[in-house]
Chains A and B, each alone.
Chain A
């Protein structure tokens, strides 16, 4: 039976060594979706990828300074058939609409992260707020 509601909140220091932990949580959540009729292994990979890329984004672009006390907050919420991921940062923020597509003819070594997130999920928004910014990612499971 598929649970109708799951929420996982994670706060980790802004250090890349925690990417594996964050990504693994995404894979674990995918395993809970018993009634998901799509490719579960692919979904597990996608959630790992999205959480990894979004957390890297928050670490690299979302920090005001190099204070080791800085943290990234991630929430994963499954409600009914929607999986909602939010990644919070406290940096300057950026304009999601101005992030260009990768140049597929002359691929660069960076700049593919948000493209990958957008490719495997259904909705991606970035909202700048007073106290923090939120990258919100939604996947419709049906």
Chain B
């Protein structure tokens, strides 16, 4: 999986470069997030703007990261989610679990 990690305004911003998150690569995303959290990252924003498809395992990987960061009293937010991908969060009601913002600026303004 192609992931890019940047530090912006004190946040760890992880951009998923792949168009697709499914059972073939979601394990990598989950591991990467958990390693970030183990490494002390506590304010994480995952940018999903490039992602045009996510399956249940991809949702599970993000959920795993969310649980991991909450356990360490941190926060994880998602931004730039495409319409069809967002519908998966709505269908599984995970839009009530994650903090979801239109873009990085909105996430920063809400002090994730």
- Residues of chain A touching chain B, judged by Cβ–Cβ distance below 8 Å, are 16-17, 19-20, 23, 41-42, 45, 48-49, 52-53, 56, 59-60, 102, 104, 107-110, 112-113, 115-116, 119-120
Contact = CB atoms under 8 A, between A and B. Distances in A.
Contacts of A120: 91
B60 A112 contact: yes
Interface in B80-112: 84, 87-88, 91-94, 97
20 contacts: A16-B24, A19-B22, A19-B23, A20-B22, A20-B24, A23-B20, A41-B84, A42-B87, A52-B53, A53-B56, A56-B22, A59-B23, A104-B93, A107-B63, A109-B61, A110-B57, A110-B60, A112-B59, A113-B56, A116-B92
Nearest to B27: A16
B106 to A, nearest CB: 24
B4 interface: no
Q: Is the interface of A mostly helix, strand, loop or mixed?
A: helix
Given A42-B87, A45-B84, A107-B97, A52 B22 contact: yes
Nearest to B82: A45
A132 B22 CA distance: 25
Given A16-B24, A112-B92, 6 more contacts: A16-B22, A45-B53, A49-B88, A109-B60, A109-B63, A116-B88
Interface string B57-82: 10111011001000000000000000
A23 B55 CA distance: 11
A120 B94 CA distance: 16
A113 B91 CA distance: 12
Contacts of B92: 102, 104, 107, 112, 115-116
B100 to A, nearest CB: 15
A110 B57 CA distance: 7
Contacts of A107: 63, 92-94, 97
Given A20-B24, A23-B22, A116 B53 contact: no
Given A42-B84, A42-B87, A112 B23 contact: no
B69 to A, nearest CB: 14
A15 to B, nearest CB: 8
A16 B53 CA distance: 15
A20 B60 contact: no
A19 B92 CA distance: 21
